[in-house]
Amino acid sequence: MSTEKRVEVFVPRGEIHDEPNLFVGVNGVSYLLPKGQTSLVPEAVARELTLSGKAQQRRDRNMEDLLRAGA
């Protein structure tokens, strides 16, 4: 059993037709986290979710900037 510290993360539910689970892979280990619930995951998984969220926010800002520039 892993001794890595585990932390709680909440995965938002998303749109009605989205998959009911979120797939996360870290260091060759796969996790399937149910959306709309809190899960207990290793810190590395929580970090990956945080980085993914930040990357998505940057992408959204860049898309908005590109749309404004093209208008």
At 3, the pLDDT band (50, 70, 90 cuts) reads: confident
Average pLDDT over residues 3-27: 92
Kindly list the domain boundaries of the chain, sorted by start residue.
6-70
For 11, counting Cβ atoms within 10 Å of its Cβ (0-12 exposed, 13-18 middle, 19+ buried), the class is middle
pTM: 0.77
For 33, counting Cβ atoms within 10 Å of its Cβ (0-12 exposed, 13-18 middle, 19+ buried), the class is middle
Tell me the C-alpha distance between 58 and 27, whole Å.
24
